[in-house]
Structure 1
C-alpha cells in the first residue's frame, strides 16, 4: 500500500536538509588546508589559507572544559582566511588526547609546547604569535600570556577567574563575556580588565557556549588580534556560524530521516494503544501524572540518584560523566521498581539497529559540524556505563508514567542534579551543560512521540535515545586523574 504524501514530504525535506548541510560543511572548508600533528604529546590541527607569502602571524586557539580543538574550528575559519596560521590543540583529557586531565599543571605545559611549536613553523613570524582561549582555555591562555612576554596578544573568552591576571601580564588582553553567562564570569572579566592595554566586551544575547559562535565575538577577537600583530588582512570577513549552521542542517536531516523510518508503518489512531500494548500490556491512564505513586517514585529516584551520582563520580574516570551515569542508573532503577513492570524481549537485532540508527543520527552530524565524537581511551568505559544507565532511565520513566507522560517525569528528574550542583553536592559544570543535555532529551522526546504516533514498539525510541544521549556526553566530557 503506498505511503501517504505527508510521509514522502518528510523524507524529501529530510534528504534536502541533509544534502544542504553536507554541502555547507564542504563549503566551510573551502580554501583552507589542514594538517594534523603532535607536539609534546598534544594532538594539534594546523589550519592555513592558501596564497600569501612571507612569515604570517599565528594564533593558538585553546578550547574549554568539555571542548576540543574541533569545537573551536569556527575561529580557524575566521582567522585563517585573514592570514593567520591557526593551531587547534586537544588538551589533556579532551578530544583525541591520550592523557588524563590535571589542571593546571598539565594543560599549562601543553599550551606552552604548542606556542613553541607555532614559533618554529617556517611560515610563522615567531614574534607575532597570539593566544585565544575559552573558559578553562581562557585561564590557560592568560597564564601562558603572563608567563611569556613574547606572546603578542591574548583573547580570553569567558575567563573563569581573574587571579592569573596581573599588572605585568598578559599584555594586549581582550576579555569577552556573554551577557547571559553566570555572574561570576562577568565579575572576573571586570576585574581582569582593570589596567592598561586591556578591554572588556559584553557580547549580547549569548551564554557560555553560544558566545563562541556569536558574530560579535569573532569580530572583536579578529580586530584585536589584527591591531596587536600588525596584520592587514586581504579578506576581513568572519565565519562564526557557517560550520555550525551546516551541522545543524545535517542534524535536522538525519533526525528527520530517523523519525520517518519510525513512522513508516503509521496508521492513524493506532499509536497509543499499540505502544501501550507493546510496552506494558495495557493502556496507561490519562491521569498517570496525578498518581501519588508516580511522584513519590520521582522524588525517591531523584534523592537516591544524587547518592548514585556521587558514587559514579568517584568510580568512573570523569567526574561529570560518572556523576550522570550514577544518577540516571539509580533514578531509572527506582522508576522501574515503582512501576512493577517487566518489559518484553524485543528481537535483538532490531534493538541494535535502533540504537545504531539513533546514535548515528546525532553523533555523525555533531562530529562533522561541532566537536569531536570519536571515543578515545577511557571514554569507551564511560560510554559503556552511561548508555545502559540512560536506557534504564528512559525505560523506567516510560514504564511508570506511560507513553506521552514520561517526558514530564524526565523533566522533573532533571531538577535534583541541578539543585545539587548549586549546593555544591554535584559537579558545578552540570549547570553549564544542562541546556545541551536538555536538547538531547528533546530529540528523544520527538522520537518517542513519532513511535507512539505510528504504533511502533516502545523500545525503538528507548534504544535510539540511550545512544544518542549517552554518546555525546561520554565523549565530550573530559577524563581526569581522579
Structure 2
C-alpha cells in the first residue's frame, strides 16, 4: 500500500481509500491521489490481493478495505470520522459493500459499478459515475443503484471503462462530492486527472519513434516476395486458420483451470494452441512441397534479441511509469514468461504466411473467435474489457514488424519483440486467483 499525503504537516485531515478494479493496481489509481492530496486529503492506494506487488491470491476484498480504513483512522494526521471510500469496477462493488458495512463511512464514490444490486441497501453518501461508452450492463447497474434517494449518478461523455479514470469530470465530481460529504474546504481545487497518463503516453510515443527511426535508418532494400499467395496456398491458409481457432477455443479453458491467473492462463492456452496448429500446418505444407524448414542462425538470434529488448522497453517502461504496475512479483513472474512463450508461438505461426499484411490478417482471423467465446461463456468475460488494450498492443507490434520488414529484417526475427510487447503488460496486470 502507498499512502500519499500533503507536504504540509497537519492533523485531523480527511482521508480516502482508493481501490482499483480487476487487473488494476494502486499505481493505476494514482491520479486520484494527485487530485485529492492537492485538496488536503490523505490517500491510501492499496494493491489488492493477487494484483501488482501483492502476491497473495484474490480473497476477501471488503476485509482488505476494512483493514486499510482501520489503519488510516489510527494515523495522527487523519480525522477518524472522515475516512471515505472510492473504487473502480470490481473495486466499486467492494467499496459499496464496505461502506454499507461500516456506518462510520460518510461518503463513497463508485466508478463503473458492475453490480447494481449490491447498492440496494446503503451506503450513505453514494456517488455513482460511469462512462458513456462503458458496456451496457455497467451503465444499467449504475442507473439502478442511483435510484435511491440522496444519491447522485453521473455519466461522463466520450470515455469507456478505463479512460473514465482519467477524465477531468470524473475527478471534479468525485472531489466535489467528497468535499461536501466530509465538510472539507479544499486547500486547492486542482484536477490532475491526466498528468501521469499524459506523461506516460508522450514517453511511449517518443520511445516508439526512436525505435521506428532506428529501423528506418537501416539502408537496405525492401525484401522481395510474392504479394499474394497462390490459390492452393490460400485454401491451405484458410483451413489452417479455422483449425487454429478451434485449437485455441479448446486450449484456452484447459490452461485457465490449471494456472494461478485464470484469464492469463486462458490466453496462454488459446495462443499456444492456435500457434502450434499454424506451425504444424506450415511444416506439413513445406514437407509436401519439398521445401526446407529454415533454422535459427546466430544473426537471427542476435537481431531478434536486440529488437525484443528495445521494443519491450519502449512499451513496458512508459506504461509502468505513467499508467499501471508492470513489474511482476511472485507467481506473476512465471505467468509473464508463460504468456510470452505462448504469444511467440502464435506470432511465429502467423509469420508462416510470408508477408506482414498476411501475417497480420492471420492473427486477426485467429483471434476473432475470442470475443464470441466470451459472449457464449467459453472464455472469461473480462476479456471483453481488456480487448481494446490487447488490440493496441498487437497494433504496436504490427508497426514494429512492418518497419523491420522494410529494413530487410525477416519477420521471424521480430517474434521475441512482439511476444514481450503483447504478453508482458497483459500478464503482469491480470490477477492471481
Q: Do the structures match in fold with TM over 0.5?
A: yes
1:323 equivalent in alignment to 2:277: no
Once the two structures are TM-superposed, the CA of residue 409 in structure 1 deviates from its matched residue by 1.4
1:214 equivalent in alignment to 2:157: no
Tell me the equivalent position of 2:55: 98
Are the aligned partners of 2:248 and 2:269 in contact in 1 as well (CA < 8 Å)? yes
Distance 1:65 1:114 in 2: 18
Give 2:205's match in structure 1, choosing from 244, 247, 252: 252
CA distances 1:327-356 after superposition (whole Å, capped 9, x unpaired): 011111111222236343132344333222
Provide closer, same or farther for how the CA distance between residues 411 and 231 of structure 1 changes in structure 2, counting only shifts above 3 A. same
Over the aligned positions, Cα root-mean-square deviation in angstroms equals: 1.5
Give 1:436's match in structure 2, choosing from 368, 389, 397: 389
Are the aligned partners of 2:304 and 2:415 in contact in 1 as well (CA < 8 Å)? no
Tell me the equivalent position of 1:286: 228
Secondary structure of 1:71's counterpart equals coil
Secondary structure of 2:5's counterpart equals strand
1:345 equivalent in alignment to 2:296: yes
Secondary structure of 2:124's counterpart equals coil
CA distances 1:184-239 after superposition (whole Å, capped 9, x unpaired): 11111111112222111111111111111111111110110010111111211201
1:271 equivalent in alignment to 2:228: no
Give 2:40's match in structure 1, choosing from 70, 77, 83: 83
**1:447-466, aligned counterparts within 5 Å?**
447-466=400-419
Secondary structure of 1:272's counterpart equals coil
Distance 1:77 1:201 in 2: 21
Distance 2:106 2:312 in 1: 43
Distance 1:134 1:78 in 2: 16
Tell me the equivalent position of 1:298: 241
Give 2:253's match in structure 1, choosing from 310, 320, 341: 310
Are the aligned partners of 1:338 and 1:400 in contact in 2 as well (CA < 8 Å)? no
Tell me the equivalent position of 1:21: none
Give 1:205's match in structure 2, choosing from 158, 165, 175: 158
Provide closer, same or farther for how the CA distance between residues 354 and 138 of structure 1 changes in structure 2, counting only shifts above 3 A. same
Unaligned runs of 5+ in 2: 287-292
Provide closer, same or farther for how the CA distance between residues 288 and 382 of structure 1 changes in structure 2, counting only shifts above 3 A. farther
Are the aligned partners of 2:200 and 2:323 in contact in 1 as well (CA < 8 Å)? yes
CA distances 1:260-309 after superposition (whole Å, capped 9, x unpaired): 33333233xx2232xxxxxxxxx244246981211211111111111011
Tell me the equivalent position of 1:158: 112
Distance 1:452 1:288 in 2: 21
Once the two structures are TM-superposed, the CA of residue 401 in structure 1 deviates from its matched residue by 4.6
1:389 equivalent in alignment to 2:342: yes
Are the aligned partners of 1:266 and 1:453 in contact in 2 as well (CA < 8 Å)? no
Distance 1:118 1:272 in 2: 62
Provide closer, same or farther for how the CA distance between residues 471 and 343 of structure 1 changes in structure 2, counting only shifts above 3 A. farther
**1:6-45, aligned counterparts within 5 Å?**
44-45=1-2
**1:102-113, aligned counterparts within 5 Å?**
102=59, 106-113=60-67
Provide closer, same or farther for how the CA distance between residues 79 and 455 of structure 1 changes in structure 2, counting only shifts above 3 A. same
Give 2:95's match in structure 1, choosing from 141, 148, 152: 141
Are the aligned partners of 1:383 and 1:471 in contact in 2 as well (CA < 8 Å)? yes
1:421 equivalent in alignment to 2:374: yes
Are the aligned partners of 1:358 and 1:468 in contact in 2 as well (CA < 8 Å)? yes
Secondary structure of 1:126's counterpart equals strand
Secondary structure of 1:467's counterpart equals helix
